[in-house]
């Protein structure tokens, strides 16, 4: 995983090689990775689709992860216009590495509209300043593969409910919930403040980090106890501008896990209680062949 925020933001600068085709770079880091991080592909697909659009803002995307990407090969994003309506525009984004299709996405854009405003209220939760940080919560488990997660200093994360590794020691709960506050560890760079799309891409990137946490809580197992855990699809709906200058609440829940598939849902609120984004992902928890 990239070790700085600037390294992450560079991933979203996809290169236009003509014909609505873009090349997404891979991160340069000192950690040997088995596959491409799903959040990276989500964010780069958003960036590629947006490069073919003017005057409308991105409001949703639906991604199908088809194969694990090779982290050592650049990703090619082919963008096709499926719809150019009076209100909506839709792009299909196909992600390839050579002849191998890694991902398919539909990205939708809308003209600015003033209309009625409603949202589900933010739940009453403890303020992030009152909660222990992730290093403190996972200190007893560092030797179980969590050192890399704790070492990452891109985002500070403070769990309201116990993170999965802590939760599984207390037994399966009545409700699979895993809520956390998160914020950028450093001061947001000016580009992240002035460019709404860049902020949306970063939220797409980080939204994939923990969305299957409640699934692990619900089944009482962490990823170390499963033969495999992988993302099958990922969907996001953006409701309000993303502001990384303060904490964001990620309210994550799992309504079901059955037949080797678990669903995670998430509502992302800003510190003022405004609903910024809705996230849904289905993960594969089955056995390897």
Q: Which residues are catalytic?
A: 208, 231, 281
Cα distances (angstroms) measured from residue 203 to each of 72, 127, 242, 286: 24, 21, 8, 28
Evaluate whether 280 touches 240 at the Cβ level (below 8 Å): no
Evaluate whether 248 touches 210 at the Cβ level (below 8 Å): no
Q: In degrees rounded to 5, what are phi and psi of residue 250?
A: -110, 100
Cα distances (angstroms) measured from residue 61 to each of 26, 50, 165, 174: 22, 11, 30, 31
* The two three-digit tokens of residue 237, written as one number: 């709906």
Evaluate whether 198 touches 236 at the Cβ level (below 8 Å): no
Evaluate whether 262 touches 218 at the Cβ level (below 8 Å): yes
* The two three-digit tokens of residue 23, written as one number: 């090349």
Beta bridge partners of residue 236, listed in sequence order: 61, 279
Cβ count within 10 A of residue 217: 30
d(CA 138, CA 193): 32
d(CA 180, CA 204): 16
d(CA 261, CA 152): 28
Q: How far apart are the first and last CA of the chain?
A: 27
């Amino acid at each position: 995983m990239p070790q700085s925020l600037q390294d992450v933001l560079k991933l979203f600068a996809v290169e236009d090689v003509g014909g609505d085709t873009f090349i997404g770079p891979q991160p340069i880091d000192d950690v040997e990775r088995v596959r491409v991080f799903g959040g990276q592909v989500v964010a780069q697909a958003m960036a590629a689709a947006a490069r073919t659009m003017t005057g409308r803002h991105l409001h949703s995307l639906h991604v199908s992860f088809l194969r694990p990407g090779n982290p050592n090969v650049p990703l090619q994003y082919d963008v096709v216009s499926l719809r150019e309506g009076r209100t909506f525009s839709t792009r299909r984004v196909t992600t390839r590495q050579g002849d191998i299709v890694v991902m398919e996405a539909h990205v939708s854009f809308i003209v600015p509209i003033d209309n009625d405003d409603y949202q589900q209220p933010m739940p009453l939760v403890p303020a992030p300043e009152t909660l222990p940080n992730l290093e403190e919560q996972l200190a007893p488990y560092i030797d179980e593969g969590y050192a890399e997660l704790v070492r990452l200093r891109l985002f500070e994360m403070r769990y309201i409910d116990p993170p999965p590794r802590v939760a599984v020691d207390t037994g399966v709960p009545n409700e699979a919930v895993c809520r956390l506050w998160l914020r950028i560890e450093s001061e947001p760079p000016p580009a992240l403040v002035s460019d709404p799309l860049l902020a949306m891409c970063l939220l797409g990137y980080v939204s994939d980090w923990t969305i299957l946490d409640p699934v692990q809580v619900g089944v009482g197992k962490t990823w170390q106890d499963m033969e495999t855990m992988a993302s099958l699809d990922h969907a996001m709906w953006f409701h309000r501008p993303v502001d990384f200058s303060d904490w964001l609440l990620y309210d994550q829940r799992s309504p079901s896990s059955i037949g080797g598939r678990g669903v995670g849902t998430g509502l992302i609120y800003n510190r003022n209680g405004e609903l910024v984004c809705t996230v849904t992902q289905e993960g594969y928890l089955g056995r390897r062949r």
